[in-house]
């Protein structure tokens, strides 16, 4: 690894950390960058996961004041996040990526649309808004838990855009404070990636020099991204998230079907 490659990887990881702290999709920066410097695809995915999961500690620190308000949701989502992340990591090592990769653009587009119109979707589904985030309808909670499990499986497998998927789900259950949603998403995303990264380490899929360089960049990106997101109005954060979601979907559609 040359100094130029090291700098490129650090900058890519910092950008990915900032993007993940606000919405999600940072893997779409780190993964192709690792491929660009000659890393095999499965090793690139594993190395990116490890670097970003260590970097999420910077994001968790940035959102530490919001975690108190969402602790009840952490208890509900942590078990399925850990289980799903491990299953996804195992699937990556025993199956091909082609079929699943072709589903990803559709999944992200659906999640972005759901995030954009979550209030109307809740009313259409019959859950309403009266219960609120503290005491949502029991059906809503179970739908969200099942959805989070599949998000975690996808996160352990590849992970690009899991932040968008989780934000859509959290909006569906009635959470409205985008900063609290981002705090919850950051913790859950870190746990999904953590269990996957541990599996990748034992499977011998990590390029350690590259992971080390990227971790430094990711820590800085997550920390500053978390602070930046809390200093702008919530409606602007929501617009940024929606824009990132549609952009990632478009990029993936192009890569999978036109590129």
- In tens, the pLDDT along 240-258 reads 767 877 887 888 788 788 8
Q: How many domains does the chain have?
A: 1
pLDDT band at 103 (very low <50, low <70, confident <90, very high): confident
pLDDT band at 127 (very low <50, low <70, confident <90, very high): very low
> Can you give the residue range of the structural domain that contains 196?
3-258
Q: Is the dihedral of CA 167, 173, 178, 181 positive or negative?
A: negative
Does 207 score more than 90 pLDDT? yes
User: Which residues, 6 or more positions from 91, have their beta carbon under 8 angstroms from its beta carbon?
Assistant: 153, 156, 157
Q: Are 105 and 252 in contact (CB under 8 A)?
A: yes
Higher model confidence: residue 165 or residue 88? 88
Q: Are 188 and 206 in contact (CB under 8 A)?
A: no
- In tens, the pLDDT along 7-64 reads 999 999 998 888 877 766 788 788 888 988 989 888 888 999 998 888 777 777 777 7
Share of the chain above pLDDT 90, in %: 24
DSSP-assigned letter for residue 222? H
Higher model confidence: residue 114 or residue 125? 114
């Amino acid at each position: 690894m040359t100094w130029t490659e090291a700098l490129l990887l650090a900058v890519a990881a910092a950008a990915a950390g900032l993007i993940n702290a606000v919405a999600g999709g940072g893997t779409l920066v780190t993964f192709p960058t690792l491929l660009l410097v000659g890393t095999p695809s499965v090793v690139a995915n594993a190395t990116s996961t490890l670097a970003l999961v260590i970097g999420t500690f910077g994001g968790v620190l940035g959102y530490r004041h919001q975690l108190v308000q969402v602790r009840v949701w952490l208890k509900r989502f942590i078990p399925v996040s850990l289980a799903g992340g491990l299953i996804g990591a195992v699937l990556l090592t025993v199956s091909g990526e082609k079929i699943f990769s072709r589903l990803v653009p559709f999944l992200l587009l659906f999640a972005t649309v759901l995030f954009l119109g979550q209030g109307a979707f809740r009313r259409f589904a019959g859950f309403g808004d009266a219960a609120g985030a503290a005491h949502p309808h029991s059906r809503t909670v179970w739908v969200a838990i099942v959805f989070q499990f599949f998000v975690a499986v996808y996160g352990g497998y590849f992970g690009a855009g899991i932040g968008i998927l989780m934000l859509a789900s959290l909006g569906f259950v009635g959470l409205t404070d985008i900063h609290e949603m981002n705090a919850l998403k950051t913790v859950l995303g870190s746990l999904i990636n953590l269990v996957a990264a541990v599996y990748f380490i034992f499977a011998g899929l990590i390029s350690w020099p590259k992971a080390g360089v990227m971790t430094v960049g990711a820590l800085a990106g997550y920390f500053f991204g978390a602070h930046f997101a809390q200093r702008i109005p919530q409606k602007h954060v929501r617009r940024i998230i929606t824009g990132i979601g549609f952009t990632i979907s478009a990029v993936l559609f192009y890569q999978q079907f036109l590129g």
